[in-house]
């Protein structure tokens, strides 16, 4: 493919996103989709339609609109199951976010299965949401945390994975793609090696499921977590995937309505999967909105989305790296990285870079990206990060470069 030619047409795609249709003096250059994506009208409309036309609680009513709401909510679950190739919708639990999904695993499966003397293996590139729940569990249980190192090019070592796992390793929890380095980890191979050593695997797919094919059967992960708001869906809705036989053996996370079959004064019986893990009134509108987001992604084609982002990232990498005084973190090969680039301008704090870019209406993130152990490893307090999605085009990258030049101008670099 010619550098700069794109698989999707962002000009057409942007027409589906109200935020890009506003009459503004300067066009919005949104380069922060790794934090949260924008949402197309179809998603906003699906949520609004629920509230306006059949708003009612799910699973409880026999009247028409409640049946309609229940069907829409469960249809969204089926869409998620198909999207990640789960064996059954029973393996899809609606939660608030990736963070909640991982806490659910640590508080239920973790509390039952991790004992004193066991260990949990993480990597140095994890988001805090895939560190702190395991840290607290290990403290509670007298288990230990281990970390796979990130090398200078932003990669993990499979040899170190093998040597870090022993017969007390109960779990490997790792991110499919780093939200800072962009590194796409060889998840299938890592999962195979962990299984060979008898450990179960939690895959954090917050940065991959929105952007590339995720097939839980092919990956063979035991648990997977991702968030709706990073994949064109609403905030407050996320997914925990787990193999049915594991969910069957797990204790519930929260107790209350909807997650029970029957309750007596001194005892209760849990509901079937997946509802055993969905206590209380769920985020009905959020689930329906996520279903609409999946329809939208399927309409574009997930492989086309990956190809589009790869092309944008490749061009951006070339351009950013060619600016003197810039450090880019993570793999140099766009095939090995997700659609994001973290960098620092020598002599400029990441927050100053982001603030000056904001004056050009360019939205990029600055900070530790909830990955402080990785920042320690990189030896920096913060980075600036530009991240891409279906609506980004080459002009956005040009604006980023223009903004970086402006930062250098302000600091006389």
Ligand X SMILES: Cc1ncc(COP(=O)(O)O)c(C=O)c1O
Q: Which is nearer to ligand X, 164 or 179 (CB)?
A: 179
CB of 181 to ligand X, least distance (A): 11
Neighbouring-strand partners of residue 175: 204
Q: Does 337 bind ligand X (CB under 6 A)?
A: no
- Measured on CA atoms in the order 346, 349, 351, 355, is the torsion positive or negative? negative
Considering beta carbons, is residue 127 or 336 the nearer one to ligand X? Answer: 127
Please identify which residue in 175, 214, 283, 314 interacts with ligand X, judged by CB under 6 A. 175
Of 138, 221, 363, 370, catalytic: 370
Number of residues that bind ligand X (CB under 6 A): 13
Place of tokens 């993480």: 122
**206 near ligand X, rule: CB under 6 A:** yes
Q: Of 126, 75, 104, which Cα lies nearest the Cα of 241? A: 104
According to the binding rule CB under 6 A, does residue 309 interact with ligand X? no
State which H helix or E strand residue 399 sits in.
helix 394-410
The yes or no reply on residue 393 touching ligand X (CB under 6 A) is no
Which residues lie closer than 8 Å to 286 by C-beta, 6 or more apart? 47, 94, 228, 233, 234, 235, 236, 237
Angle formed at CA 408 by CA 325 and CA 383, multiple of 5 degrees: 60
CB-wise, 254 or 263, nearer to ligand X?
254
Q: Which stretch in 24-32, 74-82, 111-119, 125-133 sits in contact with ligand X by CB under 6 A?
A: 125-133
Q: Judged by CB under 6 A, which of 16, 32, 204, 222 binds ligand X?
A: 204
Do 125 and 173 contact (CB within 8 A), yes or no? Answer: no
- Measured from the CB atom, the residue of 98 and 342 that comes closer to ligand X is 98
Binder of ligand X out of 70, 119, 185, 207 (CB under 6 A): 207
**Contact pick of 179, 185, 342, 384 for ligand X (by CB under 6 A):** 179
**What one-character-per-residue DSSP string does 227-251 give?**
EGGGTTS-TT-EEEEE-HHHHHHSP
Cis peptide before 274 (omega within 30 of 0): yes
Does the footprint of ligand X cover residue 99 (CB under 6 A)? yes
Q: For residue 254, how far is the Cα from the chain centroid? A: 23
Sign, CA dihedral 174-178-180-183, equals positive
Choices 200-208, 245-253, 291-299, 313-321 (CB under 6 A): range interacting with ligand X? 200-208
Rounded Cα–Cα distance for residues 392 and 372 (Å): 28
Active-site residue 370, yes or no? yes
387 lines the binding site for ligand X (CB under 6 A): no
- 217 to 246: interface string for ligand X, x by CB under 6 A: ----------x-------------------
Instruction: Find out whether 328 and 341 touch, Cβ atoms under 8 Å.
Output: yes
* 127 contacts ligand X (rule: CB under 6 A): yes
Give me the active site residues, please: 370
What does the binding site for ligand X look like in residue numbers (CB under 6 A)? 35, 97-99, 127, 129-130, 175, 179, 204, 206-207, 227
């Amino acid at each position: 493919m010619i550098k700069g030619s794109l698989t999707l047409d962002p000009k057409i795609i942007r027409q589906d996103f109200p935020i890009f249709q506003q009459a503004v003096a300067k066009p919005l250059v949104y380069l922060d989709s790794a934090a949260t994506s924008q949402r197309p009208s179809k998603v906003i409309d699906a949520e609004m339609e629920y509230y306006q036309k059949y708003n009612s609680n799910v699973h409880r009513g026999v009247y028409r609109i409640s049946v309609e709401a229940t069907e829409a909510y469960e249809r969204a679950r089926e869409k998620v199951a198909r999207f990640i190739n789960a064996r059954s919708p029973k393996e899809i639990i609606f939660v608030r976010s990736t963070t909640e999904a991982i806490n659910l695993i640590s508080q239920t499966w973790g509390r039952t299965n991790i004992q004193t003397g066991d260990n949990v293996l993480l990597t140095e590139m994890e988001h805090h949401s895939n560190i702190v729940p395991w840290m607290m569990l290990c403290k509670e249980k007298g288990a230990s945390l281990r970390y796979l190192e990130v090398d200078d090019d932003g990669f993990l070592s499979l040899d170190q994975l093998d040597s870090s796992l022993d017969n007390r390793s109960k779990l490997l929890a790792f991110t499919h793609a780093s939200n800072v380095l962009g590194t796409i980890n060889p998840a299938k191979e890592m999962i195979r090696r962990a299984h060979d050593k008898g450990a179960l695997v939690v895959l954090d797919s917050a940065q991959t499921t929105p952007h590339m094919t995720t097939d839980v059967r092919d990956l063979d992960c035991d648990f997977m977590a991702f968030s709706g708001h990073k994949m064109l869906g609403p905030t407050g809705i996320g997914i925990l995937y787990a193999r049915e036989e594991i969910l069957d053996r797990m204790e519930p996370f929260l107790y209350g309505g909807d997650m029970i079959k029957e309750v007596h004064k001194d005892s209760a019986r849990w509901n079937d999967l997946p509802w055993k893990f969905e206590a209380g009134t769920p985020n009905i509108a959020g689930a329906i909105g996520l279903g609409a987001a999946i329809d939208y992604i399927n309409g574009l084609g997930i492989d086309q989305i990956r190809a589009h982002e790869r092309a944008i990232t490749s061009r951006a990498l070339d351009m950013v790296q060619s600016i003197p005084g810039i450090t880019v973190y993570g793999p140099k090969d766009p095939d090995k990285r997700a659609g994001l680039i973290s960098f620092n301008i020598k002599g400029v704090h990441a927050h100053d870079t982001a603030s000056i870019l904001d004056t050009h209406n360019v939205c990029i993130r600055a900070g530790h990206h909830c990955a402080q152990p990785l920042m320690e490893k990189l030896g920096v307090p913060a980075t600036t990060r530009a991240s891409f999605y279906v609506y980004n085009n080459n002009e956005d990258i040009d604006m980023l470069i223009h903004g970086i030049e402006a930062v250098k101008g302000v600091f006389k670099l």
